[in-house]
Every structure is written in structure tokens, then in C-alpha cells.
Amino acid sequence: MFDKIKTALISPVYAHCDVPCGIYETDTMTHAAATCHRMAEKYAEIGEVDDEDPESMNTAIRCIMTKEKHAQKCKDELYLLWSDYFKPEHLEAFPDLHDVFWKAVKQCSTVKQTNSVDECSKLQDMVHTVAHMFADSKK
């Protein structure tokens, strides 16, 4: 019986990997930020959500849920790249590295807190900056 209880209490933990595998990319965070932007646009296109119109309510909820999911995915990818890929020696080439990443992950939170196309655009710009830092670090 204890084994059944113990097994029920164990939940899987997900991580990129800590081998380290050396496989890093910025496409996932770029796609996630673009998805947030598009969902904010679609939400704005709906206009006033009418409680009596299940179709518009459903679309609005789905847009918000998708935006939330992708903002978190973007945040997770930023944290992964920041903590696992970039090393102290990268700070010489990118002295503002920590500030750029910190502001980008904070922007993911702002995107989750709002339905603002402008805030999503800011996130896309920040992710673009990170992607360039990453690409330049590999030269």
C-alpha cells in the first residue's frame, strides 16, 4: 500500500537537460512571443465580449489561454538560455546580458497580465535582442 501512495505522490519533473547537451536555440521563444502577439491581436479583433454570445466568449477565452501558455513558454526558454547557455565569459562581450534577460522575463509576466498588443510587441523586440546576442555569441 505504501508503494501505491508513494507512487501517487511522485510527479514528473521536466527540464531541458543538465548533461549538458549543448543544444540551444531561440526559435522556440521567438515563436512563443509571436503567438502572444497574434493572440492579443485576435482578442482585440473580437471587440466587446458578449456574455450572451458563447462563440465570442469561447474565442476570447481561448485567445487568452493560448497567450498565457506561450508567454510562460517564452519565459521558460529565456530562463533556460540565460542559466544554462550563457557563461561568465559571455559577460565580456555582452556586459548588459543579465539586464537584457531580466527585463525580457519580466516582460513575459507583463504580457501575461495584460491583453496589450503593444506589450507583446515589446516582448518580441526583447526576444529579438536575445536571439541576436545568442547568435553573436556563437561567432
Would you kindly state where each structural domain of the chain is located, as residue ranges? 26-137
How far apart CA 96 and CA 112 sit, in angstroms, is 25
What is the model's pLDDT at position 51?
82
Cβ contact 72:65 at 8 Å: no
Alpha carbons 76 and 63: distance in angstroms, whole number:
20
CA distance 125 to 131: 10
Block mean pLDDT (10 aa), the chain, length 139: 58 59 91 98 90 89 97 97 95 97 98 97 98 95
What lies within 8 Å, CB to CB, of 117 at 6+ separation is 37, 40, 41, 44
Domain 26-137 adopts which CATH fold? Four Helix Bundle (Hemerythrin (Met), subunit A) (1.20.120)
Predicted pLDDT at 14: 52
The 3-state DSSP class for residue 89 equals coil
Note the pLDDT of residue 22.
76
From 135, 119, 125, select the one nearest 40 (Cα to Cα): 119
